[in-house]
Amino acid sequence: MSDRLVIENLQVSYGSGAQRVEAVAPMSLAVPAGQKLGIVGESGSGKSTLLKAVLGLIRPPGVVRADGIWLDGTDLRSLSRREFRARCGSEIAMIFQDPVNALNPAFSIRDQFRRSFRLHQPDLPRSRYTETMLRALASVSIDARDKLGRYPFEFSQGQLQRIMIALACSSPRLKVLLADEPTSSLDVTTQAQVLDLLHALQAELGFSLIIVTHNLPVVAELCDRALVMCRGEVVEDTDVISLFEQPTHDYTRHLLASMASLPRIASGAAS
Binding site for ligand ADP (CB under 6 A): 14, 21, 23, 41, 43-49, 61-62
**DSSP string spanning the chain?**
--EEEEEEEEEEEES-GGG-EEEEEEEEEEEETT-EEEEE--TTSSHHHHHHHHTT---TTEEEE-SEEEETTEEGGGS-HHHHHHHBTTTEEEE-S-HHHHS-TTS-HHHHHHHHHHHH-TTS-GGGHHHHHHHHHHTTT---TTTTT--GGGS-HHHHHHHHHHHHH--TT--EEEEESTTTTS-HHHHHHHHHHHHHHHHHH--EEEEE-S-HHHHHHH-SEEEEEETTEEEEEEEHHHHHH---SHHHHHHHHHHHTS--TTTTTT-
Q: Which does 151 bind (CB under 5 to 8 A by kind): Mg ion, ligand ADP, none?
A: none
CB of residue 118 to ligand ADP, shortest distance in Å: 29
- Provide the mask over 30-69, with x wherever binding to Mg ion is found by CB under 5 A and - wherever it is not: ------------------x---------------------
49 is in the binding site of which of ligand ADP, Mg ion, none (Cβ under 5 to 8 A by kind)? ligand ADP
Minimal distance in Å, beta carbon 141 to ligand ADP?
Answer: 29
Binds 46, which of Mg ion, ligand ADP, none (CB < 5 to 8 A, cut-off by type)? ligand ADP
Residue 68 binds what, of ligand ADP, Mg ion, none (CB under 5 to 8 Å, by partner type)?
A: none
Of 48 and 90, the one with the shorter C-beta distance to Mg ion is: 48
